[in-house]
Amino acid sequence: MTLNRREALAIAGGALAFAVTGARMAWATAEDTYKAIMAFTGGAEPATGRITLNAPEIAENGNTVPISVSVESPMSAEDHVASVTILAEGNPNPETVTFHFTAMSGEAMASTRIRLAKTQNVIALAKMSDRSVFIDTKEVKVTIGGCGG
């Protein structure tokens, strides 16, 4: 089969459009999650401890999964939790929510409801005012995914 220039361009254009939309609907890769972790920590290696992520073991409806996170901290002006981010490894985009705390928060505790596309690990990262980073991970089994079309 020979193609003239116009046909070749049309096919290439179609393939490109498919690649772009295809990539957009694809699940986040481990690399995306790693990138999101590094973007939050600024390159610091996260340690375990101090942060606790509470999430259900089994979520029947991925559209609304209650999660809560708490971090041990005196929450004083000098030593407090600056921010906490929640990442969902198996979602189209790993980022879900980032909480920013101040010394006026009193406690580093927050909860919300997130969408999970499928059974996956949910990661919580806490960044302290001294820039150290802590991590906690929970696996959530999802019965019905929450990114339906």
Site residues (CB under 8 A) for another protein?
Answer: 25, 63-65, 68, 75, 88, 91-93, 95-102, 104-107, 109-116, 146-149
Q: What is the DSSP letter of 131?
A: S
First-to-last alpha carbon distance for the chain, in angstroms, is 38
Q: Residue 73 has which token pair?
A: 């901290």
Nearest distance, CB of residue 25 and another protein, angstroms: 7
Compare residues 42 and 149 and give the one whose CB is closer to another protein. Answer: 149
- The DSSP letter of residue 27 is P
Shortest CB 56 distance to another protein, Å: 14
Of 60 and 107, nearer to another protein (C-beta) is: 107
Q: How far is the CB of 134 from another protein (least distance, A)?
A: 18
Q: Which residues share a beta bridge with 122?
A: 88, 138
8 A C-beta contact, residue 138 and residue 87: no
Which CB sits closer to another protein, 59 or 135?
A: 59
State which amino acid sits at residue 113.
R
Supply the minimum distance, in Å, between the C-beta of residue 5 and another protein: 30
The Cα–Cα gap between 45 and 43 comes to 6
Structure tokens that stand for 116 in this block: 């999970």
Cβ 4 to another protein, closest distance in Å?
Answer: 30
Q: 16 or 77: whose CB is closer to another protein?
A: 77
Looking at residue 118, the DSSP 8-state letter turns out to be: S
Which residue lies nearer to another protein by CB, 49 or 149?
149
